């Protein structure tokens, strides 16, 4: 199964034309947090934006997946968000670790209030790794869209600066955790959070950069 995932990612992105269609996965989890916080328009809008601006062929209908589900391996990109508690079972921890080591990718976006809960869970998945902040010069900020100052601030909560934190193993970014930015809210239809069009586009551009960086690096490192 692990080999099949790696193969699927490589076949999906054979060239920069992004010729094969994929589906993005939204993670459903236990613990009381609202995994469904941005359910309706967030990932679908990101997929549509990437298709238009990067030439991707991403299914604009998202998949909802649990981390212990064998179908996890069908989705090379997972998005996890919410405001509160998250608890992973041992099976979910093991499956997520294998998925990420096989070439899958997890983007976690703190919708506000998740930070103190998600960090211990990530430590269970990779006890040997620590989250490290990606500097503004990291390539993820300089793909089709350039973010000279790094991760953009989409929504203000506690007047803290936005941070892009990563789990990196053997030089490869396995998981991106965006904190104090609220990208997922920014991907949603602007009317939902009364976002400006500028903030909406900025969030989508950063999301597109994440997809481009992850998938093109999967192609190079295969």
CATH topology of domain 2-221: Rossmann fold (3.40.50)
Percent of the chain with pLDDT over 70: 87
CA distance 195 to 185: 9
Angle (deg, nearest 10), helices 115-125 and 90-101: 70
Which of the 8 DSSP states describes residue 135?
P
- Over residues 43-85, the pLDDT tens digits come to 999 999 999 999 999 999 999 999 999 999 999 999 999 888 9
- The answer to whether the beta carbons of residues 174 and 168 sit under 8 Å apart is yes
CA distance 63 to 28: 10
Domain residue spans in the chain? 2-221
Which of the 8 DSSP states describes residue 165?
E
- Over residues 115-151, the pLDDT tens digits come to 999 999 999 999 999 999 999 999 999 999 999 999 9
> Which pTM value belongs to this model?
0.90
């Amino acid at each position: 199964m692990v080999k099949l995932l790696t193969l699927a990612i490589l076949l999906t992105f054979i060239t920069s034309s992004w010729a094969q269609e994929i589906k993005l996965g939204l993670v459903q989890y236990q613990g009381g947090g609202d995994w469904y916080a941005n359910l309706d328009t967030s990932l679908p809008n990101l997929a549509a934006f990437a298709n238009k601006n990067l030439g991707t062929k991403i299914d604009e209908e998202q998949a909802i997946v649990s981390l212990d589900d064998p179908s996890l391996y069908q989705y090379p990109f997972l998005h996890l968000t919410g405001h509160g508690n998250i608890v992973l079972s041992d099976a979910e921890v093991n499956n997520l670790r294998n998925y990420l080591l096989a070439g899958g990718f997890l983007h976690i976006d703190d919708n506000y209030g998740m930070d103190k809960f998600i960090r211990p869970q990530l430590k269970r998945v990779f006890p040997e790794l620590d989250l490290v902040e990606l500097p503004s010069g990291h390539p993820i900020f300089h793909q089709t869209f350039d973010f000279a100052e790094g991760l953009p601030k989409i929504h203000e909560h506690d007047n803290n600066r936005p941070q892009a934190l990563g789990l990196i193993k053997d030089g490869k970014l396995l998981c991106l955790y965006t904190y104090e930015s609220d990208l997922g809210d920014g991907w949603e239809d602007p009317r939902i959070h009364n976002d400006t069009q500028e903030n909406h586009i900025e969030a989508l551009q950063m999301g597109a950069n994440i997809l481009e960086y992850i998938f093109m690096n999967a192609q190079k490192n295969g």
